[in-house]
Amino acid sequence: MYPFKPGSFAPRNGWYVAAFREEIGEKLLSRWILNQPVVLYRKADGTAVAVEGRCPHRHFPLGESKRVGDAIQCGYHGITFGADGKCTFIPSQKVVPGVYSIRAYPLVERGLWAWIWPGDPDKADESLLPTEEEIGFSRSADFHAKPFYYHHVNGRYQLLNDNLLDLTHLGYLHGGSIGTADDAATPEERDQNARRLSSRRIMKNTPPPPVTRERFGIDCPVDRISGMDFFYPGFHAGIGDSRVSEGYPQAGRQLTSSRVWHAVTPATKTTTNYFFAMGSPDKEGVEFMVEYLKPVLAEDIFATEQIEKIITTVDDVPPELMLRSDTTAVLGRRMLQAMMDAEAAKPGELT
């Protein structure tokens, strides 16, 4: 489906953020992931687990069910499944058929996030996860990291990936807050490897974005670094650094030094789980941004939902007219399409 090949929805063999770690507790948490209902909770021993959210008996949502110890008792007929997905109890019969089970998903906690592997569990490989170092997450006392928002967005996930893979939008969609015209006008440096696709823009002697102007009360040019690392299939680690440019009072003074993390996880075919978090050595800055960024994220969600509406309403939506600035997004799409093609291929078949 758009913008992928017909029939291609999302790669399954990959780590996606299922939830912020702090969202997972004793209570069952329901979440749609890659068009499947999933339940997340924390076992008595503290381990976070993710299991299928649809009882195989009558399709009742297990996330709307009852927790009994570390197991889930279906809210409809009481069929009970352990955290490993195996059925442990059927109220109406003594024998539990071997076939009775739900999927238990590989789930790993790292950084602020719980990462799920929706595909073939045999292929779940933790070394494919972005490391905390790679994404600029630190456990040091001098670093402050915080989950900001979880949003359920009424648009397909790739629209959010596209958004994050092309930061030329900062000066326009977010021109009143975090971006300037130079976010688009500055050439992008790009780097891709098997784990991630990186983009950097180095801006020297550039006007500060409104947020920097406001927060630090400055009105002189700054030197900025803006970048984003896309870890396939759905995690974007961003960098935002700025300091006062040479030749101005307080030249070289560090203003912002922040990491922003966007996790984009398909919910249904046309809706998306969107997790936004931030980290910085500047604790006050982090607290300031929680409120400040709310309307900024709302702009991204607005764009996504409006575009979703347009592409589902007009007939035969024409292909986008691509620009040079779309190169990163195109590379990102190609990578996801290649992952999907590989999953769809029969053994021995070339993709």
The residues binding its own copies (CB under 8 A) are: 32, 35-37, 54, 56-61, 64, 73-79, 90-93, 97, 99-100, 162, 166, 168-169, 171-173, 175, 181, 184-185, 268, 302-303, 306-307, 310-311, 313-315, 317-318, 320-326
1 vs 108, beta carbon nearer its own copies: 1
72 vs 277, beta carbon nearer its own copies: 72
Smallest gap from residue 237 Cβ to its own copies (A): 22
Smallest gap from residue 158 Cβ to its own copies (A): 11
Q: Could you tell me the two tokens for 130?
A: 């972005």
Residues in the chain, total: 351
Smallest gap from residue 268 Cβ to its own copies (A): 6
CA gap 186, 36 in Å, rounded: 41
45 vs 315, beta carbon nearer its own copies: 315
90 vs 104, beta carbon nearer its own copies: 90
Smallest gap from residue 302 Cβ to its own copies (A): 8
257 vs 325, beta carbon nearer its own copies: 325
Smallest gap from residue 339 Cβ to its own copies (A): 18
92 vs 193, beta carbon nearer its own copies: 92
Is residue 220 within 8 Å of residue 322, measured between CB atoms?
Answer: no
128 vs 331, beta carbon nearer its own copies: 331
Which 3 state secondary structure label does DSSP give 24?
A: coil
Which 3 state secondary structure label does DSSP give 312?
A: helix
Beta strand spans in 232-305 (E): 235-244, 254-266, 272-280
CA gap 178, 170 in Å, rounded: 7
23 vs 326, beta carbon nearer its own copies: 326
Q: Which residue has the tokens 């959010």?
A: 160
Smallest gap from residue 71 Cβ to its own copies (A): 14
Nearest Cα residue to 228 out of 164, 180, 143: 164
Q: Which residue has the tokens 């569990």?
A: 121
Smallest gap from residue 78 Cβ to its own copies (A): 4
Question: Cα–Cα distances in Å, from 300 out to 274, 279, 344?
Answer: 11, 20, 31
278, β-bridge pairs = 146, 260
State the alpha helices, DSSP H only, in 99-245. Answer: 157-164, 182-185, 210-216
CA gap 16, 202 in Å, rounded: 29
Is residue 16 within 8 Å of residue 118, measured between CB atoms?
Answer: yes
